[in-house]
Amino acid sequence: MVVHHKLKVVMMTIDEQFEELKQFYPHAKRATESGIEFILIPELILPSGCLPEKIDAVLCPTMRDGYDSRLFYAEQITGIPTKNWNGKLRICDRSWVSYSWKSSSGMTLLQMVMYHLHTLKCT
Amino acid sequence: MNKVTIRISEELCTRIRKDLSRPHAHAYERVGFLIGRSKTLPENEELICLTEYHPVEDDNYIKDDSVGARINSNAIREAMQIVMTEKCCMFHVHMHFGHGTPEFSETDLTELPGVAQAMINANPNRTHGILLLSENGADALVKENNMPAKAVDKVVILGYPMTFNHSFYKDTHFSSTRYDRQSFLGEWAQHKLSSVKIGVVGLGGGGSHIVQQLSHLGVLNFVIFDDDFVAESNLNRLVFANLNDAETQIQKNLVFKRLIKGLHPEANITLVNSKWQEEPELLHSCDVILGAVDSFSGRRDLELDSRRYLIPYIDIGMDVKIVDDNAPRLFGQVILSAPGNPCMKCIGFLNDEILTQEANRYGDAGNKPQVVWSNGVLASNAVGLCVDLITGWSGNIDPCIYQEYDGNNMSMTKTYRLDYLNRDACDHFPSNQCGPPIWK
């Protein structure tokens, strides 16, 4: 861990961020494809009201297609406000869907997952 | 045991041949081990992508004048350890000098199945075997627990041209009269064209020409993906579709089944009436994939899966740009993305900016202008490339192909970008990331 005392900003390495994520999602795993590292979160529990209640998801934590980060789901989620769902995209030998929602940069992996889960309930 | 297909890139084969050709202090030849990643495909086909080479250390050869090379238990134990920890397939590999599909010697058939059996003992849930290389070919055996070794149905080296083991195509039957005029393609060309399985994604203006031409050439095994129906607006370019097809809104796939069956009643056609992403395993079973899709993200995804399962991908596309009061500019491309060689990102065709712009339109490529003659030019070049890849008739050995079409000047030229390209293996798709993903 690198601590910049002047700025009071704590920067975590990607490995430290992944360890933090695994405290919440112990089955999370990493794989690289076409130079991009993805994080698989099996049976991610979704916010209440979502259907299904849990689903496999994959996090792309780096810039791709103009999104700073993006959470992809194994299938479209219902029980939430209408979203611009895209067609199926291929990541690591599996088809995934997501919707258009911009995020900001500078978040840790755990913060990214929490942010994207939060947007499920947003309009 | 299921039907087994083995794929390995020419780039990896070249590295292995170079290593196996090194002299040893006392052994007459060298041997090594190859990691394989397997996947079950439709029709009980097991696909094994050979991805990583492990040479046998010099100290692990035993002095024995009765055989070319004998390795000690350390070498076998190390390979078994990899099989257990990586949960992978393992193939013993050695080389016979000469050209074409090599033949296993009596000694190979007597001694090497025991090595494969040791790998089965380490992990019986994976398929293990023996790969034999020649200077430009390969053949393989696989072993089941306590059973004799069995010949692999198809062994493909992904180079330019592709190399297939002789037993894969030698017994195919076709009318020599029908193909007399294309016999210049080579002695075994028609056998190979009759045996390979071609995937075509997208039956628009480009895809329709591709299927038509491949069918006339004598390709008999197709997997065709399209989820659309014939509409009147397709009739300006969808070759072989007619007014009745548009009026009855028939599925596009069925139009081309009619075409292929009209030429080859015996053809083996798999029609997929959905996006290929719904049935990706059918795509992975193809020997070559030709894509005629609208979007850049669609091309990227096709290349991702093609690279992962060591399949050459040929991409075509066209567009028209109108700037100010100038005449429309009609342009397009034909690209070969071959495993072990520069990808569409390396050659500058796909980049983050283009993909971001498309994503900002929510992935909608829009109704791009299409016209039959440029569809035909691009498709014809893609088919020519595909035939050359399978038969090697032209003698071309450059696997990096990016042709730019200028429809206003009616020209097709190699892009200048290739002149400035680092031709070393692609950084985006290293060979150890082939096969099913490894989540850690």
Tell me, rounded to whole angstroms, the distance of Cα A104 from its chain centroid.
13
Distance CA(A117)–CA(B363), nearest Å, equals 22
The backbone torsions φ and ψ at residue A42, rounded to the nearest 5 degrees and listed phi first, read: -70, 140
Beta bridge partners of B197: B221
Nearest to A46 by CA among A30, A62, A57: A57
pLDDT of residue B362: 64
Tokens of B313: 């991908």
Helix, strand, or coil here: B154?
Answer: strand
pLDDT of residue B365: 56
Q: Is A1 a residue whose pLDDT tops 70?
A: no
CB contact under 8 A, B280 and A92: no
The backbone torsions φ and ψ at residue B17, rounded to the nearest 5 degrees and listed phi first, read: -60, -40
Distance CA(B400)–CA(B336), nearest Å, equals 6
Q: Is A5 a residue whose pLDDT tops 70?
A: no
Structure confidence at residue A30 as a pLDDT band (50, 70, 90): very high
Distance CA(B94)–CA(B136), nearest Å, equals 13
* Residue of chain B minimizing CA distance to A97: B277
Distance CA(B435)–CA(B37), nearest Å, equals 5
Tell me, rounded to whole angstroms, the distance of Cα A57 from its chain centroid.
7
Q: Give B349's contacts in chain A (Cβ within 8 Å).
A: none
pLDDT of residue A6: 57
Tokens of A28: 């999370």
Q: Give A89's contacts in chain B (Cβ within 8 Å).
A: 277, 297, 301
What share of chain A in percent tops pLDDT 70?
A: 92
Q: Give B439's contacts in chain A (Cβ within 8 Å).
A: 29-31, 40, 92
| Cβ pair B140, B152 in contact under 8 A | yes
Q: Pick from A31, A92, A100: which is nearest to B362 by CB?
A: A100
Q: Pick from B308, B427, B429: which is nearest to A93 by CB?
A: B308
| Cβ pair B401, B415 in contact under 8 A | no
Q: Which helix (H) or strand (E) holds B111?
A: helix B106-122
pTM above 0.90, yes or no: yes
ipTM of the prediction: 0.91
CB contact under 8 A, B359 and A33: no
Tokens of B151: 């010949």
In which residue are the tokens 């889960």 written? A117
Distance CA(A79)–CA(A89), nearest Å, equals 22
Nearest to B137 by CA among B102, B97, B189: B102
Nearest to A94 by CA among A113, A75, A78: A75
Nearest to B91 by CA among B159, B28, B32, B15: B32
Selected for mutation to probe chain A from B282, B300, B304, B353 (highest A CB count within 10 Å) is B304
Beta bridge partners of B40: B46
Task: Give the DSSP letter of residue B121.
Answer: H
Is the CB of residue B365 less than 8 Å away from at least one CB of chain A?
no
Q: With the C-alpha atoms ordered B282, B284, B285, B288, is the resulting torsion angle positive or negative? A: positive
Q: How many helices and strands, by DSSP H and E, does chain B display?
A: 12, 19
Distance CA(B162)–CA(B154), nearest Å, equals 12
> What average pLDDT does the structure give for chain A?
91
Region for B73 from its dihedrals, namely left if φ exceeds 0, alpha if ψ lies in -120 to 50, beta otherwise? alpha
CB contact under 8 A, B439 and A86: no
Q: How would DSSP label each residue in B82-99?
A: HHHHHT-EEEEEEE-SSS
Q: How many helices and strands, by DSSP H and E, does chain A display?
A: 2, 8
| Cβ pair A14, A68 in contact under 8 A | no
pLDDT of residue B228: 96
pLDDT digits (tens, 9 = 90+) for B107-166: 999 999 999 999 999 999 999 999 999 999 999 999 999 899 999 999 999 999 999 999
pLDDT of residue B423: 76
Per-residue CA distances from A42 to A16, A65, A98, B280, B437 (Å)? 20, 24, 16, 21, 15
Distance CA(B143)–CA(B320), nearest Å, equals 55
The one-letter code for the residue type at B128 is H
pLDDT of residue A77: 97
Beta bridge partners of A116: none
Distance CA(B336)–CA(B348), nearest Å, equals 13
Is the CB of residue B305 less than 8 Å away from at least one CB of chain A?
yes
The one-letter code for the residue type at B98 is G
In which residue are the tokens 């020519």 written? B384
Q: Is A88 a residue whose pLDDT tops 60?
A: yes
Distance CA(B34)–CA(A117), nearest Å, equals 42
Beta bridge partners of A31: A38
Q: How would DSSP label each residue in A2-39?
A: EEETTTTEEE--HHHHHHHHHHH-TT-EEEEETTEEEE
Beta bridge partners of B288: B198
Structure confidence at residue A106 as a pLDDT band (50, 70, 90): confident
CA-CA-CA-CA torsion for A18, A19, A24, A25, nearest 10 degrees? 60
> Residue B20, exposed/middle/buried by CB under 10 A (0-12, 13-18, 19+)?
buried
Q: Give A65's contacts in chain B (Cβ within 8 Å).
A: 297, 352, 355-356, 358-359
Is the CB of residue B151 less than 8 Å away from at least one CB of chain A?
no
User: Which residue stretches of chain B have pLDDT < 50?
Assistant: none
